[in-house]
Structure 1
Amino acid sequence: MPLPAALFRPVRAGNAFEETVERLVQAVRLGVVPPGERLPAERELATRLGVSRVTLREAIRSLRDAGYVESRRGRYGGTFVNASLPVARPGRPVEAAGLLDALTLRAVLETGAAECAAGRALGPAERRNLRARLAECSAASLEDYRRKDSRLHLAIAEATGSASLTAALADVRMRVNELLDRIPLLPPNLAHSNDQHELVVGRILDGDPDGARRAVSEHLAGTAALLRGFLS
């Protein structure tokens, strides 16, 4: 099966799982691999996407759990696109311009907030709050993850000392959460996000503004990849 080069180009190393999911979901939703058809072999996909077969299998497992594909055993087995694909959860249709607007605003606010927080001399209470919110997010169940994740990101904004920035970030987080609620929770992504949260908070507590900004940018890019994949 010929694969479009633009869709199956190598993914970036920093968010390999999330971008692999994005590419596969796009291939399914755009009909590159039609319903009932088999995905290319793992070896070919992994090579084209530039990821390990472990990462590819995690991505395929997530799509299977979300109802996009099914695995069949036997001589003619493999991973097949389901005849009926999941529909978006009830709500207004997601327009490409609106999605881009929300992701752009979030990126500007959250990277700036992390950079600002890392550049301040944080007091003991602020440092304890960041560590506590990080621990809560890391230990959160699937059902409670969105709320704990939001609370951690707001705690970073609060660490800037700017009430206006915190309010603006809360507003954009509401917009992003409405989008996130329309896509499945993927455990590999949550584990990756928790690792990235550790890095972000560590950079802030170490007083590393540039490092904090880069860490948040990488973190947000993974979420953006999933939203684009499932909603675009």
Structure 2
Amino acid sequence: MEFEPVTPVRAYERVVEQIEEAVLSGRVLPGERLSSERDLMVQFGVSRSTVREALRVLQAAQILRSRPGDPRGPEVLAASPAALHKSVRHLTRARHMGLGEVLQFRMLLEGSAYLLAASLRTSAQLDEMAAALEAMRADLGTSEFSRADVAFHDAVARATGNPMIVVCGEVVREVVLELIEDKLVHADDRHALMRSSLAHHTEVLAAVRDGDGALACRLGRQALYDYYADYVPEEGLAKLRPLIGAET
């Protein structure tokens, strides 16, 4: 594929922009390869160091996989939530964002997912949620419970039909768990937490099945609050309480 020459001032940024646009527009697809470094130098009209700097940026963003000197050229990667996860995790630490803020976002996001899923879910997606719930019930008290729990939330997110909700939901869920992982491991009664979670999920699924999005939204937010409230400082809880009982 052909690219346009760029000016030498911060030229690697212009190279990044053109390659990003080619990937996002679908002119080059995941699994395909760009030209070799030498050919990219000619197409862009820049030095090898400029091409390599652009490729390093694109690789860090997980848009490409590149090895200096590879004659096959850089490989275009499929979209992944990994870069978003890294950014959110960095934000929670670099700017001292607390668990309250992250959990607030999760409550907003998952509440909205339940709201949409209640209207948009298919019979097959309801079956997925029910199967995940049954797995949670069967694995109560075991390490497999969390896997089934994740499967339930993933099924709800997919039922919205919005891939952004799927990706953001996965990322924020992982970040919340990372922030309190040690506390959960040493919780006095993890079995009680699992039983409470199972009861909440059962109620939410019933609301989604009945098409009552407002109820599903409220229940989903309440479930998150009840599960995590003991791990959130009081100043963080103040940011969560307005969401309890909210319909949207």
Match of 1:189 in 2: 193
More helix by share: 2
Identity %: 26
- Look up the equivalent residue of 2:134 and give its one-letter code: A
Match of 1:103 in 2: 103
Q: CA offsets, 1:203-224, max 9 Å, x none? A: 0011001110111011011122
Give the TM-score, by structure 1 length: 0.54
Displacement after TM superposition at 1:192 (Å): 1.1
Query: Which structure has the larger Rg over C-alpha atoms?
Result: 2
Give the TM-score, by structure 2 length: 0.51
Q: Quick one: structure 1 residues 226 and 138, their matched pair in 2 at CA, closer, same or farther if it must change by over 3 Å?
A: farther
Displacement after TM superposition at 1:97 (Å): 3.3
Task: Work out the CA distance in 2 between the residues paired with 1:134 and 1:159.
Answer: 15
Which structure has the higher relative contact order (CA within 8 Å, separation 6+)? 1
Task: Work out the CA distance in 1 between the residues paired with 2:166 and 2:119.
Answer: 16
Task: Work out the CA distance in 2 between the residues paired with 1:159 and 1:193.
Answer: 20
Matches within 5 A, 1:141-220: 141-184=141-184, 185=187, 186-220=190-224
Match of 2:243 in 1: none
Displacement after TM superposition at 1:145 (Å): 2.2
Q: Is the CA contact (8 Å cut-off) linking 2:128 and 2:152 kept in structure 1?
A: no
Query: Which of 222, 232, 237 does residue 228 from structure 1 map onto?
Result: 232
Q: CA offsets, 1:49-72, max 9 Å, x none? A: xxxxxxxxxxxxxxxxxxxxxxxx
SS in 1 for 2:132: helix
Match of 1:128 in 2: 127
CA RMSD of aligned residues (A): 2.5
Match of 1:138 in 2: 137
Q: Is the CA contact (8 Å cut-off) linking 2:102 and 2:176 kept in structure 1?
A: yes
- Look up the equivalent residue of 1:172 and give its one-letter code: V
Task: Work out the CA distance in 1 between the residues paired with 2:177 and 2:137.
Answer: 18
Displacement after TM superposition at 1:96 (Å): 7.2
- Look up the equivalent residue of 1:214 and give its one-letter code: R
Task: Work out the CA distance in 2 between the residues paired with 1:111 and 1:117.
Answer: 10
Displacement after TM superposition at 1:144 (Å): 2.0
Structure 1 residues without counterparts, runs of 5 or longer: 1-91
- Look up the equivalent residue of 1:193 and give its one-letter code: S
Displacement after TM superposition at 1:190 (Å): 1.1
- When the two structures are aligned, how many residues end up with a matched partner? 139
Matches within 5 A, 1:82-93: none
Q: Is the CA contact (8 Å cut-off) linking 2:204 and 2:219 kept in structure 1?
A: yes
Match of 1:117 in 2: 117
SS in 1 for 2:97: helix
Task: Work out the CA distance in 1 between the residues paired with 2:229 and 2:157.
Answer: 23
Displacement after TM superposition at 1:155 (Å): 1.2
- Look up the equivalent residue of 1:201 and give its one-letter code: L
Moved more, 159-168 or 136-145: 136-145
Structure 2 residues without counterparts, runs of 5 or longer: 1-91, 237-248
Q: Is the CA contact (8 Å cut-off) linking 1:179 and 1:227 kept in structure 2?
A: no
Displacement after TM superposition at 1:226 (Å): 2.7
SS in 2 for 1:97: coil
